[in-house]
DNA sequence: TCGATATTGATAATCGTTGTCAATAGAAAA
DNA sequence: TTTTCTATTGACAACGATTATCAATATCGA
């Protein structure tokens, strides 16, 4: 019988190993939660969920694990109107977030082309533009149906 | 002799009046700082600057005044990589921010047209898109020169 | 299996923000 | 101008979220 553990999770644990970190029970539980969720979770939410898998988990360990996952580029902080302390699996390549205002579901999209706009703003302001943040908010199909 | 007080500041104070708030010394000092700055300032930074004008100012009053200015739509919170608790005079109409990574200077720009992109993402994902956040980061002309 | 040490959870400390309250000051009325 | 009402103030305490400390424990290479 082969294990059905999602590959993202295994990849994250392997990356922790490779970087000299130990793979422990508490870390497994945190990774399992954050790697497989489609909504941004704050440290306490991660704690509540992960401790169902690893009951003696401490909140402090959640903070420390999130810190390491962020340093490894595996998760990233999501900025939202109601708070900026929730995390999601990091974008792969050049992607931006689309967030559902109803259920909090998050998806990445790619294919934005802002070169034109950026060129125009650069010319107008004299700035050399190096980065951009783009985030879309709306209602997913499920929430659209629910709210009519 | 006419006063040379910047009009934004007077507008803000008038708006406080109109909404039943009293115009006090402490509030004047906070408004003067935030209304005339081109960089996002957090509550403590506002406190340090404003108390040069009104030495007996308390930090708590800064928090309370910022809260009211935000409620009146005169200032807005700015999200940045290194923190999301700094404020700027609010955008007028549909505008987005361009921030200098060197000196922190902030400018608004308008004229972005994301309808095309948004339509494409909506079609692809099934989301009904209701809002967007866009923010550009770069170097202003002065910082570009300074950093070569 | 063993041992060095990274990691853990409990606890305390810290930081930014918000609540409490008596004293004060704004502004409308007298 | 003076009076009066009460919104506002600053000092202080309280709070919640995050970070530091430390002895006990668990990981993983030897
Ligand atoms: Mn982009
Ligand atoms: Mn726009
Ligand atoms: Zn939804
Ligand atoms: Zn600059």
The DSSP bridge partners found for residue A72 are: none
Q: What is the mean pLDDT of residues B39-59?
A: 98
pLDDT band per the 50, 70, 90 thresholds, residue A148? low
| Burial zone of A76 (CB within 10 Å; 0-12 exposed, 13-18 middle, 19+ buried) | middle
Residue B50 has pLDDT above 60, yes or no: yes
Count contacts between A and B (CB, < 8 Å).
Answer: 109
Q: How many CA atoms lie less than 13 Å away from B6 in the CB half-sphere? A: 11
φ and ψ of A32, to 5 deg: -55, -40
pLDDT on residue B1 = 44
Strand partners, B96: B109
CATH number of B1-90: 1.10.10.10
Residue with tokens 């988990």: A57
Ligand 4: centre distance to CA B113 (Å): 26
Q: Which ligand is nearest to the CA of B132?
A: 2
Top CATH class, A92-148 = alpha beta
CA of B112 to the centre of ligand 2 (A): 5
Do residue A126 and residue B140 have CB atoms under 8 angstroms apart?
yes
CB proximity list for B112: less than 8 A, separation 6 or greater: A117, B96, B134
Task: Give the CA A60 to C1' C13 distance in Å.
Answer: 14
Mean pLDDT, rounded, of chain A: 95
Structural domain spans, chain B: 1-90, 92-148
Q: Between the CA of B22 and the C1' of C11, what is the distance in angstroms?
A: 46
Beta bridge partners of A108: A97
B27 φ/ψ angles, rounded to the nearest 5 degrees: -65, -40
Q: What mean pLDDT is predicted for residues A108-122?
A: 97
pLDDT of residue A3 exceeding 80: no
Taking the model in full, what pTM does it have?
Answer: 0.92
pLDDT tens sequence across A131-147: 999 999 999 999 999 87
What DSSP designation does B92 have? S
Q: Which of A1-10, A11-20, A106-115, B103-112 shows the lowest mean pLDDT across its residues? A: A1-10
């Amino acid at each position: 019988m082969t294990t059905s553990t999602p590959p993202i999770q295994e990849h994250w644990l392997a990356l922790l190993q490779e970087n000299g970190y130990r793979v422990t029970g508490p870390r497994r539980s945190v990774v399992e939660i954050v790697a497989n969720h489609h909504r941004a979770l704050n440290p306490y939410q991660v704690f509540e969920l992960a401790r169902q898998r690893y009951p003696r988990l401490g909140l402090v360990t959640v903070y420390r694990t999130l810190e390491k996952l962020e340093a490894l580029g595996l998760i990233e902080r999501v900025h939202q109107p109601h708070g900026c302390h929730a995390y999601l699996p990091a974008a792969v390549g050049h992607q931006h977030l689309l967030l559902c205002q109803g259920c909090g579901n998050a998806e990445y999209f790619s294919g934005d082309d802002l070169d034109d706009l950026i060129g125009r703003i650069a010319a107008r302001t004299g700035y050399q533009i190096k980065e951009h943040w783009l985030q879309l908010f709306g209602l997913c199909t499920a929430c659209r149906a629910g709210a009519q």
